[in-house]
Amino acid sequence: MDPSAVWRDKNHKWRIEAYRAPDLRFAVFATNGTTESAPLWLFGMAALARWLMTHAISLDDLEQD
């Protein structure tokens, strides 16, 4: 399953992939140079919005990868 969109924050600490499955899903990866974490799966836009808010990341901080 390929992501339909991929974003990174401007500090390149996080990578977010969007998937169109039966519902809208987002996989969030913590990145550190050449390594990255296992995905944190978020289901729906509300979950992504809460995650962005708790990490103090605005939509302006995201750049398309």
**pLDDT tens-digit readout, 9-59:** 998 899 999 999 888 999 999 998 788 999 999 999 999 999 999 999 999
Tokens of 30: 């913590």
State residue 55's pLDDT score. 94
The answer to whether 17 and 26 are in contact (CB under 8 A) is: yes
pLDDT at 5 over 80: yes
Query: What's the whole-model pTM score?
Result: 0.86
CA dist 63 and 65 (Å) reads 6
Tokens of 51: 């995650």
